[in-house]
Chains A and B, each alone.
Chain A
Amino acid sequence: MSTCPQSNLIEALHDGRLGPTEAASCERHLRTCPECAARQRHLAAVREAVRAPVDPPTPLAHQRARNALLRAAVAEPHAPPRHRRLALVAGVFFAASALAGVSLWRAGAPPAPLPELPAPPVAPSEAPKESRPVHAASNAPASAALPSSLPAPRVVAPPKPRRVASRPAVAPPTTAPASAPEAPPRASPASRDFAAAMDALAAGDFGVAATRFVDFTAKYPGDPRSDEAAYLVAITLQRAGQTENARTAAQRYLRDRPDGAHRTQAAKIAGAEDR
Protein backbone atom coordinates (compact mmCIF):
# COMPACT_ATOMS: atom_id res chain seq x y z
CA MET A 1 0.00 0.00 0.00
CA SER A 2 2.65 2.47 0.93
CA THR A 3 5.80 2.65 -1.08
CA CYS A 4 7.55 5.57 0.56
CA PRO A 5 10.01 4.46 3.26
CA GLN A 6 9.06 7.50 5.34
CA SER A 7 5.36 6.75 5.36
CA ASN A 8 5.34 5.04 8.73
CA LEU A 9 6.76 8.18 10.29
CA ILE A 10 3.74 10.20 9.28
CA GLU A 11 1.56 8.52 11.84
CA ALA A 12 4.17 9.05 14.52
CA LEU A 13 4.27 12.70 13.60
CA HIS A 14 0.51 12.91 13.77
CA ASP A 15 0.50 11.37 17.24
CA GLY A 16 3.24 13.64 18.47
CA ARG A 17 5.69 10.82 19.00
CA LEU A 18 8.58 12.39 17.12
CA GLY A 19 11.23 14.52 18.66
CA PRO A 20 11.68 18.06 17.37
CA THR A 21 14.48 17.21 14.95
CA GLU A 22 12.70 14.19 13.52
CA ALA A 23 9.47 16.10 13.28
CA ALA A 24 11.10 18.91 11.34
CA SER A 25 12.68 16.55 8.86
CA CYS A 26 9.42 14.66 8.47
CA GLU A 27 7.58 17.89 7.76
CA ARG A 28 10.17 18.78 5.13
CA HIS A 29 9.62 15.41 3.55
CA LEU A 30 5.88 15.98 3.47
CA ARG A 31 6.31 18.93 1.13
CA THR A 32 7.95 16.79 -1.48
CA CYS A 33 6.16 13.45 -1.16
CA PRO A 34 2.56 13.42 -2.39
CA GLU A 35 1.93 9.96 -1.01
CA CYS A 36 2.90 10.94 2.51
CA ALA A 37 1.05 14.23 2.19
CA ALA A 38 -2.10 12.32 1.26
CA ARG A 39 -1.59 10.08 4.21
CA GLN A 40 -1.23 13.01 6.54
CA ARG A 41 -4.40 14.59 5.14
CA HIS A 42 -6.23 11.36 5.81
CA LEU A 43 -5.07 11.29 9.42
CA ALA A 44 -6.08 14.91 9.86
CA ALA A 45 -9.50 14.24 8.36
CA VAL A 46 -10.10 11.38 10.77
CA ARG A 47 -9.10 13.55 13.69
CA GLU A 48 -11.32 16.33 12.52
CA ALA A 49 -14.30 13.99 12.11
CA VAL A 50 -13.84 12.53 15.56
CA ARG A 51 -13.54 15.96 17.12
CA ALA A 52 -16.40 17.53 15.19
CA PRO A 53 -18.83 18.74 17.82
CA VAL A 54 -21.92 16.71 18.59
CA ASP A 55 -25.18 18.39 19.47
CA PRO A 56 -24.51 19.71 22.95
CA PRO A 57 -27.02 19.07 25.70
CA THR A 58 -29.23 22.06 26.48
CA PRO A 59 -28.69 23.79 29.82
CA LEU A 60 -31.94 22.26 30.98
CA ALA A 61 -30.89 18.76 29.97
CA HIS A 62 -27.57 19.34 31.66
CA GLN A 63 -29.32 20.42 34.81
CA ARG A 64 -31.62 17.44 34.83
CA ALA A 65 -28.77 15.04 34.23
CA ARG A 66 -26.76 16.69 36.97
CA ASN A 67 -29.52 16.34 39.49
CA ALA A 68 -30.23 12.78 38.47
CA LEU A 69 -26.56 12.00 38.96
CA LEU A 70 -26.40 13.55 42.41
CA ARG A 71 -29.56 11.77 43.40
CA ALA A 72 -28.23 8.46 42.18
CA ALA A 73 -24.88 9.02 43.85
CA VAL A 74 -26.47 9.59 47.22
CA ALA A 75 -28.90 6.72 46.84
CA GLU A 76 -26.06 4.40 45.96
CA PRO A 77 -25.27 2.19 48.92
CA HIS A 78 -21.53 2.05 48.49
CA ALA A 79 -19.83 1.95 51.85
CA PRO A 80 -21.07 5.22 53.21
CA PRO A 81 -18.49 6.77 55.48
CA ARG A 82 -19.53 7.68 58.94
CA HIS A 83 -20.82 11.19 58.46
CA ARG A 84 -23.03 10.18 55.56
CA ARG A 85 -24.44 7.36 57.57
CA LEU A 86 -25.33 9.76 60.31
CA ALA A 87 -26.91 12.10 57.85
CA LEU A 88 -29.00 9.21 56.63
CA VAL A 89 -30.21 8.54 60.13
CA ALA A 90 -30.99 12.19 60.56
CA GLY A 91 -32.88 12.12 57.31
CA VAL A 92 -35.07 9.31 58.51
CA PHE A 93 -35.86 11.24 61.63
CA PHE A 94 -36.66 14.43 59.85
CA ALA A 95 -38.77 12.64 57.30
CA ALA A 96 -40.86 11.33 60.14
CA SER A 97 -41.35 14.83 61.41
CA ALA A 98 -41.87 16.31 57.97
CA LEU A 99 -45.56 15.52 57.73
CA ALA A 100 -46.03 17.10 61.08
CA GLY A 101 -44.28 20.23 59.97
CA VAL A 102 -46.19 20.46 56.74
CA SER A 103 -49.60 20.01 58.26
CA LEU A 104 -48.73 22.55 60.85
CA TRP A 105 -47.90 24.98 58.12
CA ARG A 106 -51.10 24.21 56.27
CA ALA A 107 -53.15 24.82 59.35
CA GLY A 108 -51.95 28.39 59.27
CA ALA A 109 -49.43 28.07 62.03
CA PRO A 110 -46.14 29.91 61.58
CA PRO A 111 -43.77 27.83 59.48
CA ALA A 112 -41.02 28.31 61.99
CA PRO A 113 -40.35 24.80 63.29
CA LEU A 114 -39.49 23.30 59.91
CA PRO A 115 -36.45 21.24 60.72
CA GLU A 116 -33.28 22.12 58.89
CA LEU A 117 -30.98 19.38 57.74
CA PRO A 118 -27.46 19.19 59.04
CA ALA A 119 -26.64 19.05 55.35
CA PRO A 120 -23.30 17.72 54.28
CA PRO A 121 -22.36 19.24 50.90
CA VAL A 122 -24.33 16.71 48.90
CA ALA A 123 -27.92 16.21 49.82
CA PRO A 124 -28.29 13.41 52.30
CA SER A 125 -30.91 10.75 52.16
CA GLU A 126 -32.66 11.55 48.95
CA ALA A 127 -35.63 9.39 48.33
CA PRO A 128 -35.85 7.86 44.89
CA LYS A 129 -37.82 10.28 42.80
CA GLU A 130 -40.82 8.10 42.15
CA SER A 131 -41.23 7.02 45.71
CA ARG A 132 -42.90 10.23 46.73
CA PRO A 133 -45.61 11.85 44.72
CA VAL A 134 -45.92 15.58 44.95
CA HIS A 135 -47.38 16.54 48.21
CA ALA A 136 -50.65 18.39 48.27
CA ALA A 137 -49.33 21.04 50.56
CA SER A 138 -46.37 21.91 48.40
CA ASN A 139 -48.60 21.97 45.38
CA ALA A 140 -51.05 24.51 46.65
CA PRO A 141 -49.14 27.76 46.44
CA ALA A 142 -47.58 26.79 43.17
CA SER A 143 -50.81 26.10 41.32
CA ALA A 144 -52.12 29.39 42.56
CA ALA A 145 -49.24 31.07 40.84
CA LEU A 146 -50.10 29.58 37.48
CA PRO A 147 -53.85 29.96 36.90
CA SER A 148 -54.35 28.21 33.60
CA SER A 149 -53.32 25.02 31.90
CA LEU A 150 -52.36 22.93 34.85
CA PRO A 151 -52.56 19.34 33.71
CA ALA A 152 -54.18 17.68 36.69
CA PRO A 153 -51.47 17.95 39.28
CA ARG A 154 -50.43 14.72 40.88
CA VAL A 155 -51.89 15.28 44.26
CA VAL A 156 -52.06 12.75 46.99
CA ALA A 157 -54.55 12.93 49.76
CA PRO A 158 -54.01 16.12 51.71
CA PRO A 159 -52.32 15.41 55.00
CA LYS A 160 -54.69 15.02 57.85
CA PRO A 161 -53.97 17.11 60.86
CA ARG A 162 -51.90 14.94 63.07
CA ARG A 163 -51.42 14.70 66.74
CA VAL A 164 -47.68 14.68 66.35
CA ALA A 165 -47.86 18.13 64.88
CA SER A 166 -47.33 19.71 68.23
CA ARG A 167 -44.05 17.96 68.75
CA PRO A 168 -41.37 19.08 66.35
CA ALA A 169 -38.74 16.41 66.26
CA VAL A 170 -35.47 17.60 67.59
CA ALA A 171 -34.03 14.26 68.51
CA PRO A 172 -30.30 14.30 67.90
CA PRO A 173 -29.41 11.94 65.07
CA THR A 174 -26.91 10.07 67.18
CA THR A 175 -29.63 8.55 69.30
CA ALA A 176 -31.08 6.72 66.33
CA PRO A 177 -31.38 2.97 66.66
CA ALA A 178 -28.60 1.02 65.05
CA SER A 179 -30.90 -0.50 62.50
CA ALA A 180 -31.90 2.83 61.06
CA PRO A 181 -29.15 3.09 58.43
CA GLU A 182 -30.51 -0.01 56.74
CA ALA A 183 -33.94 1.52 56.35
CA PRO A 184 -34.73 2.93 52.93
CA PRO A 185 -33.91 6.63 52.88
CA ARG A 186 -36.91 8.91 53.21
CA ALA A 187 -37.10 12.38 51.86
CA SER A 188 -36.36 15.35 54.01
CA PRO A 189 -38.70 18.32 53.55
CA ALA A 190 -36.02 20.05 51.56
CA SER A 191 -35.51 17.04 49.34
CA ARG A 192 -39.21 16.74 48.81
CA ASP A 193 -39.66 20.36 47.93
CA PHE A 194 -36.72 20.20 45.59
CA ALA A 195 -38.05 17.05 43.98
CA ALA A 196 -41.45 18.68 43.61
CA ALA A 197 -39.87 21.60 41.80
CA MET A 198 -37.86 19.27 39.61
CA ASP A 199 -41.00 17.28 38.84
CA ALA A 200 -42.76 20.43 37.70
CA LEU A 201 -39.76 21.25 35.57
CA ALA A 202 -39.74 17.78 34.07
CA ALA A 203 -43.45 18.00 33.41
CA GLY A 204 -42.96 21.26 31.57
CA ASP A 205 -44.86 23.37 34.12
CA PHE A 206 -42.23 26.05 34.07
CA GLY A 207 -44.25 28.65 35.90
CA VAL A 208 -44.93 26.23 38.71
CA ALA A 209 -41.34 25.09 38.78
CA ALA A 210 -40.04 28.66 38.95
CA THR A 211 -42.28 29.40 41.92
CA ARG A 212 -41.14 26.28 43.70
CA PHE A 213 -37.49 27.00 43.14
CA VAL A 214 -37.94 30.51 44.46
CA ASP A 215 -39.70 29.08 47.51
CA PHE A 216 -36.93 26.59 47.94
CA THR A 217 -34.18 29.19 48.00
CA ALA A 218 -36.16 31.24 50.49
CA LYS A 219 -36.97 28.30 52.71
CA TYR A 220 -33.64 26.48 52.70
CA PRO A 221 -30.94 29.07 52.08
CA GLY A 222 -28.35 26.78 53.66
CA ASP A 223 -29.22 23.71 51.66
CA PRO A 224 -26.54 22.58 49.20
CA ARG A 225 -29.15 22.58 46.46
CA SER A 226 -30.15 26.17 46.93
CA ASP A 227 -27.46 27.19 44.48
CA GLU A 228 -29.00 24.88 41.88
CA ALA A 229 -32.43 26.12 42.77
CA ALA A 230 -31.49 29.76 42.43
CA TYR A 231 -29.99 29.08 39.04
CA LEU A 232 -32.96 26.99 37.97
CA VAL A 233 -35.25 29.90 38.67
CA ALA A 234 -33.62 31.69 35.78
CA ILE A 235 -33.71 28.59 33.58
CA THR A 236 -37.36 27.86 34.22
CA LEU A 237 -38.39 31.46 33.67
CA GLN A 238 -36.50 31.41 30.45
CA ARG A 239 -38.30 28.25 29.44
CA ALA A 240 -41.58 29.80 30.43
CA GLY A 241 -40.89 32.52 27.90
CA GLN A 242 -40.42 35.21 30.53
CA THR A 243 -37.15 36.42 29.17
CA GLU A 244 -37.12 39.65 31.12
CA ASN A 245 -37.77 37.91 34.43
CA ALA A 246 -35.25 35.24 33.60
CA ARG A 247 -32.66 37.92 33.09
CA THR A 248 -33.53 39.51 36.41
CA ALA A 249 -33.30 36.14 38.14
CA ALA A 250 -29.94 35.45 36.56
CA GLN A 251 -28.68 38.86 37.62
CA ARG A 252 -29.88 38.20 41.14
CA TYR A 253 -28.10 34.86 41.07
CA LEU A 254 -24.87 36.53 40.04
CA ARG A 255 -25.24 39.16 42.71
CA ASP A 256 -26.09 36.75 45.54
CA ARG A 257 -23.70 34.01 44.51
CA PRO A 258 -20.63 35.47 42.90
CA ASP A 259 -18.92 32.11 43.35
CA GLY A 260 -21.93 30.03 42.33
CA ALA A 261 -21.34 26.90 40.33
CA HIS A 262 -23.49 28.23 37.50
CA ARG A 263 -22.17 31.73 37.24
CA THR A 264 -20.99 31.26 33.67
CA GLN A 265 -24.37 30.09 32.45
CA ALA A 266 -26.16 32.66 34.56
CA ALA A 267 -24.02 35.40 33.07
CA LYS A 268 -25.13 34.25 29.64
CA ILE A 269 -28.77 34.47 30.59
CA ALA A 270 -28.25 37.77 32.35
CA GLY A 271 -26.69 39.25 29.28
CA ALA A 272 -28.72 37.53 26.58
CA GLU A 273 -31.35 39.35 24.55
CA ASP A 274 -33.18 36.10 24.03
CA ARG A 275 -32.16 32.57 23.50
Chain B
Amino acid sequence: MTRATSRQAALTEAADDALFEQMATGDLAPLGELFDRYHASVRHFLLRLQVDAGEVDDLVQETFLTASRAAGAFTPGAPGRPFLFGVAAQLVRRRRRGFARLRRMLESLGRHPSAPSTSPADRTEADQRTAALYAAIAKLSDRHREVLIMAELGEMSGVEVASALGLPPGTVWRRLSEARAELARRLKGMQS
Protein backbone atom coordinates (compact mmCIF):
# COMPACT_ATOMS: atom_id res chain seq x y z
CA MET B 1 0.00 0.00 0.00
CA THR B 2 2.60 2.53 1.03
CA ARG B 3 4.97 2.51 -1.85
CA ALA B 4 5.37 6.25 -1.59
CA THR B 5 9.13 6.56 -1.42
CA SER B 6 11.86 5.04 -3.53
CA ARG B 7 9.34 4.49 -6.23
CA GLN B 8 11.30 6.10 -9.02
CA ALA B 9 13.50 3.05 -9.33
CA ALA B 10 10.61 0.66 -8.92
CA LEU B 11 8.52 2.52 -11.45
CA THR B 12 10.12 1.07 -14.50
CA GLU B 13 9.29 -2.44 -13.46
CA ALA B 14 5.96 -1.79 -11.78
CA ALA B 15 2.91 -3.59 -13.10
CA ASP B 16 0.32 -1.58 -14.95
CA ASP B 17 -2.19 -1.73 -12.16
CA ALA B 18 0.36 -0.38 -9.70
CA LEU B 19 0.81 2.64 -11.96
CA PHE B 20 -2.92 3.20 -12.15
CA GLU B 21 -3.32 2.71 -8.42
CA GLN B 22 -0.72 5.37 -7.80
CA MET B 23 -2.38 7.76 -10.24
CA ALA B 24 -5.75 7.17 -8.61
CA THR B 25 -4.37 8.85 -5.51
CA GLY B 26 -3.64 11.94 -7.57
CA ASP B 27 0.05 11.24 -7.94
CA LEU B 28 0.81 11.71 -11.61
CA ALA B 29 4.38 10.45 -11.49
CA PRO B 30 3.64 7.19 -13.34
CA LEU B 31 2.02 8.94 -16.27
CA GLY B 32 5.27 9.29 -18.18
CA GLU B 33 6.07 5.65 -17.71
CA LEU B 34 2.60 4.64 -18.83
CA PHE B 35 2.98 6.83 -21.88
CA ASP B 36 6.29 5.23 -22.76
CA ARG B 37 4.76 1.81 -22.50
CA TYR B 38 1.64 2.34 -24.52
CA HIS B 39 1.71 5.48 -26.60
CA ALA B 40 2.70 3.58 -29.73
CA SER B 41 -0.11 1.07 -29.24
CA VAL B 42 -2.67 3.76 -28.59
CA ARG B 43 -1.53 5.71 -31.60
CA HIS B 44 -1.73 2.63 -33.79
CA PHE B 45 -5.21 1.94 -32.48
CA LEU B 46 -6.39 5.47 -33.19
CA LEU B 47 -4.98 5.48 -36.69
CA ARG B 48 -6.76 2.23 -37.43
CA LEU B 49 -9.96 3.80 -36.18
CA GLN B 50 -9.53 6.23 -39.08
CA VAL B 51 -8.53 9.11 -36.88
CA ASP B 52 -6.93 11.72 -39.08
CA ALA B 53 -3.15 11.80 -38.91
CA GLY B 54 -3.31 15.49 -38.04
CA GLU B 55 -5.47 14.78 -35.03
CA VAL B 56 -3.93 11.62 -33.77
CA ASP B 57 -1.31 13.15 -31.51
CA ASP B 58 -3.91 15.30 -29.78
CA LEU B 59 -6.06 12.29 -29.22
CA VAL B 60 -3.19 10.24 -27.88
CA GLN B 61 -2.52 12.93 -25.32
CA GLU B 62 -6.18 13.22 -24.47
CA THR B 63 -6.37 9.48 -24.01
CA PHE B 64 -3.60 9.43 -21.43
CA LEU B 65 -4.92 12.51 -19.67
CA THR B 66 -8.39 11.04 -19.43
CA ALA B 67 -6.98 7.71 -18.32
CA SER B 68 -5.03 9.40 -15.53
CA ARG B 69 -8.19 11.11 -14.37
CA ALA B 70 -10.18 7.91 -14.56
CA ALA B 71 -7.44 5.83 -12.97
CA GLY B 72 -9.73 5.02 -10.08
CA ALA B 73 -11.91 3.01 -12.43
CA PHE B 74 -9.05 0.73 -13.37
CA THR B 75 -9.53 -2.90 -12.43
CA PRO B 76 -6.69 -4.14 -10.23
CA GLY B 77 -4.68 -6.88 -11.87
CA ALA B 78 -5.77 -5.91 -15.38
CA PRO B 79 -3.33 -4.97 -18.12
CA GLY B 80 -3.23 -1.33 -19.07
CA ARG B 81 -3.69 -1.56 -22.79
CA PRO B 82 -7.38 -2.56 -22.96
CA PHE B 83 -8.22 0.20 -20.53
CA LEU B 84 -6.42 2.76 -22.65
CA PHE B 85 -8.04 1.44 -25.81
CA GLY B 86 -11.41 1.79 -24.16
CA VAL B 87 -10.71 5.39 -23.22
CA ALA B 88 -9.41 6.13 -26.71
CA ALA B 89 -12.47 4.61 -28.34
CA GLN B 90 -14.79 6.64 -26.14
CA LEU B 91 -12.94 9.82 -27.06
CA VAL B 92 -13.19 9.03 -30.73
CA ARG B 93 -16.90 8.40 -30.39
CA ARG B 94 -17.41 11.64 -28.57
CA ARG B 95 -15.44 13.53 -31.14
CA ARG B 96 -17.31 12.01 -34.06
CA ARG B 97 -20.61 12.76 -32.41
CA GLY B 98 -19.60 16.35 -31.80
CA PHE B 99 -18.36 17.26 -35.23
CA ALA B 100 -20.10 17.01 -38.49
CA ARG B 101 -18.56 13.96 -40.00
CA LEU B 102 -16.15 14.55 -42.81
CA ARG B 103 -15.30 11.44 -44.62
CA ARG B 104 -11.60 11.30 -45.13
CA MET B 105 -11.20 7.65 -45.73
CA LEU B 106 -9.70 7.80 -49.19
CA GLU B 107 -7.25 10.34 -47.97
CA SER B 108 -6.30 8.27 -44.97
CA LEU B 109 -6.06 5.22 -47.14
CA GLY B 110 -3.17 6.85 -48.91
CA ARG B 111 -1.31 7.16 -45.67
CA HIS B 112 -1.14 3.50 -44.88
CA PRO B 113 2.31 2.25 -45.64
CA SER B 114 0.94 -0.97 -46.98
CA ALA B 115 -1.47 0.81 -49.30
CA PRO B 116 0.77 2.06 -52.10
CA SER B 117 -0.36 5.18 -53.88
CA THR B 118 1.16 4.28 -57.22
CA SER B 119 -0.85 3.33 -60.24
CA PRO B 120 -2.76 0.06 -59.99
CA ALA B 121 -0.74 -1.47 -62.77
CA ASP B 122 2.39 -1.41 -60.63
CA ARG B 123 0.84 -3.27 -57.80
CA THR B 124 1.00 -6.91 -57.16
CA GLU B 125 -2.22 -8.70 -56.63
CA ALA B 126 -1.47 -9.04 -52.94
CA ASP B 127 -0.96 -5.30 -52.62
CA GLN B 128 -4.24 -4.66 -54.31
CA ARG B 129 -5.99 -6.98 -51.97
CA THR B 130 -4.46 -5.28 -48.96
CA ALA B 131 -5.41 -1.87 -50.25
CA ALA B 132 -8.93 -3.08 -50.88
CA LEU B 133 -9.04 -4.41 -47.36
CA TYR B 134 -8.04 -1.07 -45.87
CA ALA B 135 -10.61 0.66 -48.02
CA ALA B 136 -13.24 -1.76 -46.82
CA ILE B 137 -12.27 -1.25 -43.18
CA ALA B 138 -12.50 2.49 -43.74
CA LYS B 139 -16.03 2.10 -45.01
CA LEU B 140 -17.28 0.16 -42.02
CA SER B 141 -19.55 2.00 -39.66
CA ASP B 142 -17.80 3.41 -36.62
CA ARG B 143 -19.45 0.98 -34.25
CA HIS B 144 -18.40 -2.00 -36.33
CA ARG B 145 -14.91 -0.72 -36.85
CA GLU B 146 -14.14 0.01 -33.20
CA VAL B 147 -15.14 -3.49 -32.17
CA LEU B 148 -13.14 -5.10 -34.94
CA ILE B 149 -10.00 -3.07 -34.41
CA MET B 150 -10.07 -3.52 -30.69
CA ALA B 151 -10.50 -7.28 -30.92
CA GLU B 152 -7.83 -7.75 -33.57
CA LEU B 153 -5.26 -5.21 -32.53
CA GLY B 154 -5.68 -5.41 -28.79
CA GLU B 155 -5.85 -9.19 -28.74
CA MET B 156 -8.83 -8.73 -26.50
CA SER B 157 -11.61 -11.20 -25.98
CA GLY B 158 -15.18 -10.19 -26.70
CA VAL B 159 -15.83 -9.81 -23.02
CA GLU B 160 -12.86 -7.50 -22.62
CA VAL B 161 -13.92 -5.45 -25.62
CA ALA B 162 -17.41 -5.27 -24.19
CA SER B 163 -16.27 -3.99 -20.84
CA ALA B 164 -13.91 -1.48 -22.43
CA LEU B 165 -16.67 -0.08 -24.60
CA GLY B 166 -19.49 -0.42 -22.11
CA LEU B 167 -21.49 -2.80 -24.31
CA PRO B 168 -23.06 -6.17 -23.61
CA PRO B 169 -20.78 -9.00 -24.79
CA GLY B 170 -23.46 -10.34 -27.10
CA THR B 171 -23.55 -7.03 -28.95
CA VAL B 172 -19.80 -7.15 -29.37
CA TRP B 173 -19.88 -10.65 -30.85
CA ARG B 174 -22.66 -9.70 -33.22
CA ARG B 175 -20.93 -6.54 -34.42
CA LEU B 176 -17.66 -8.36 -34.82
CA SER B 177 -19.35 -10.95 -36.96
CA GLU B 178 -21.19 -8.35 -38.99
CA ALA B 179 -18.02 -6.37 -39.54
CA ARG B 180 -16.18 -9.39 -40.89
CA ALA B 181 -19.06 -10.40 -43.10
CA GLU B 182 -19.23 -6.88 -44.45
CA LEU B 183 -15.52 -6.92 -45.26
CA ALA B 184 -15.82 -10.26 -46.98
CA ARG B 185 -18.73 -8.95 -49.04
CA ARG B 186 -16.85 -5.86 -50.14
CA LEU B 187 -13.71 -7.73 -51.03
CA LYS B 188 -15.66 -10.22 -53.05
CA GLY B 189 -17.30 -7.38 -54.93
CA MET B 190 -13.93 -5.90 -55.76
CA GLN B 191 -12.48 -9.12 -57.01
CA SER B 192 -15.09 -9.88 -59.58
Contact = CB atoms under 8 A, between A and B. Distances in A.
A162 interface: no
B87 interface: no
B177 to A, nearest CB: 6
A125 to B, nearest CB: 13
Contacts of A16: 157
A54 B28 contact: no
A122 B31 contact: yes
Size band of the interface chain A makes with B = 35 or more
- Of A42, A56, A81, which is in contact with the most chain B CB atoms at under 10 Å from its CB? A42
Contact of A46 (B11, B29, B183): B183
Nearest to B158: A15
Contact of B180 (A43, A62, A78): A43
Interface string B92-116: 0000000000000000000011100
Interface in B172-192: 176-177, 180-181, 183-184, 187
A255 interface: no
A81 to B, nearest CB: 4
Contacts of A146: none
Given A50-B152, A73-B65, A259-B12, A57 B32 contact: no
Contact of A65 (B9, B39, B137, B148): B39
Given A65-B61, A80-B26, A73 B68 contact: yes
Contacts of A52: 112-114
Interface string A120-133: 11100000000000
Contacts of A121: 7-8, 27-29
Contacts of A50: 48, 137, 148-149, 152-153
Interface string B142-176: 00000011011100011000000000000000001
A84 B61 CA distance: 21
B49 to A, nearest CB: 10
B158 A62 contact: no
B155 to A, nearest CB: 9
The 7 closest A-B pairs by CB, nearest first: A121-B29, A81-B26, A50-B152, A122-B28, A47-B152, A49-B133, A54-B47
Interface of B: 7-9, 11-12, 25-29, 31-33, 35-36, 39-40, 43-44, 47-48, 57, 60-61, 64-65, 68-69, 112-114, 129-130, 133-134, 137, 148-149, 151-153, 157-158, 176-177, 180-181, 183-184, 187
